[in-house]
């Protein structure tokens, strides 16, 4: 276990690299939402939207956006502690905060706190695919010593069943992220035929997207006989 914190530091350095500048689109959206919130500071929908916006920007290496996301989600959860998706994203934010912390024990503490929040969110809303996807998206990259592999595999298997439901709540980009991750785990289990089937179905959700091209490249690299446009 002594190697655990070191592995975590390597994972954080690779998965969640240092801060970067916010783009103009982010700045414009942020300014608009903040102006609206100023006139209605307890508006839960606005707090969630701000937290979600800053969470996604934080994942693109913006440390200040991570700090803002944490503040907005804390305010939301103070008003509505049972907001499962907000709590899941708050947990994800805590793991991103670990990226920007230099002291290894603090990094590990933040990651574990984030995991607890995501697990609590899924426990509160186990049938909400958006909540399960936040956890799977985040936890799939966790180092082995944190023991998340089986949980992530179960999340992704369940999420894949939701992804192929035509009437589901998941967007095409969300379905494609699920396909990418689920197929990757199947491949690691040496179930290449199943992985290829998942990836090709994932491509079909939006064949023109950048995610479809990424999935296609993975499928082609692992199946030399696959045609370049292997969409069912």
Tell me if 58 is assigned to some domain: yes
Tell me if 84 is assigned to some domain: yes
Say which CATH number the domain at 70 has. 1.25.40.10
Number of domains in the chain: 1
pLDDT at residue 110, as a whole number: 97
18 pLDDT above the threshold of 80: no
- What is the pLDDT confidence band of residue 10, given thresholds at 50, 70 and 90? very low
CB 90 within 8 A of CB 55: no
Q: 113 lies in which domain range?
A: 4-128
Cα–Cα distance measured from residue 13 to residue 6, given in angstroms and rounded to the nearest whole number:
11
pTM for the structure as a whole: 0.86
Tell me if 22 is assigned to some domain: yes
pLDDT at residue 229, as a whole number: 40
The DSSP letter of residue 168 is -
pLDDT at residue 228, as a whole number: 44
CB 57 within 8 A of CB 22: yes
Three-state SS sequence of 53-91: HHHHHHCCCCHHHHHHHHHHHHHHHHHCCCCHHHHHHHH
Convert the pLDDT of each residue in 64-115 to its tens digit.
999 999 999 999 999 999 999 999 999 999 999 998 888 889 999 999 999 9
CB 90 within 8 A of CB 4: no
Tell me if 80 is assigned to some domain: yes
Q: For the chain, give the percent of residues with pLDDT over 90.
A: 79
Tell me if 227 is assigned to some domain: no
Cα–Cα distance measured from residue 14 to residue 195, given in angstroms and rounded to the nearest whole number:
25
Tell me if 56 is assigned to some domain: yes
pLDDT at residue 226, as a whole number: 52
Least confident span in 18-32, 40-54, 199-213: 18-32
Tell me if 198 is assigned to some domain: no
pLDDT at residue 231, as a whole number: 36
Tell me if 36 is assigned to some domain: yes
Contacts of 158 (CB under 8 A, 6+ apart): 129, 132
Cα–Cα distance measured from residue 2 to residue 53, given in angstroms and rounded to the nearest whole number:
36
């Amino acid at each position: 276990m002594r190697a655990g914190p070191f592995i975590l530091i390597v994972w954080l350095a690779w998965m969640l690299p240092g801060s970067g500048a916010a783009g103009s689109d982010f700045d414009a959206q942020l300014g608009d939402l903040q102006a609206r919130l100023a006139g209605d500071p307890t508006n839960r929908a606005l707090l969630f939207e701000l937290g979600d916006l800053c969470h996604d920007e934080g994942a693109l290496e913006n440390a200040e956006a991570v700090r803002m996301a944490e503040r907005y989600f804390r305010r939301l959860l103070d008003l509505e502690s049972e907001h499962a998706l907000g709590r899941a994203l708050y947990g994800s934010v805590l793991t991103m905060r670990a990226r920007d912390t230099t002291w290894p024990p603090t990094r590990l503490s933040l990651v574990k706190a984030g995991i607890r929040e995501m697990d609590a969110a899924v426990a509160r809303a186990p049938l909400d695919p958006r909540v399960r996807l936040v956890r799977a998206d985040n936890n799939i990259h966790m180092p082995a010593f944190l023991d998340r592999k089986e949980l992530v595999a179960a999340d992704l298997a369940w999420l894949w069943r939701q992804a192929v439901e035509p009437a589901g709540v998941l967007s095409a980009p969300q379905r494609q992220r699920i396909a990418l991750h689920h197929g990757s785990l199947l491949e690691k289990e040496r179930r290449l035929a199943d992985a290829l089937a998942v990836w090709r179905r994932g491509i079909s959700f939006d064949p023109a997207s950048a995610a479809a091209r990424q999935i296609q490249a993975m499928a082609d690299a692992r199946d030399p006989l696959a045609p370049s446009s292997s969409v069912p």
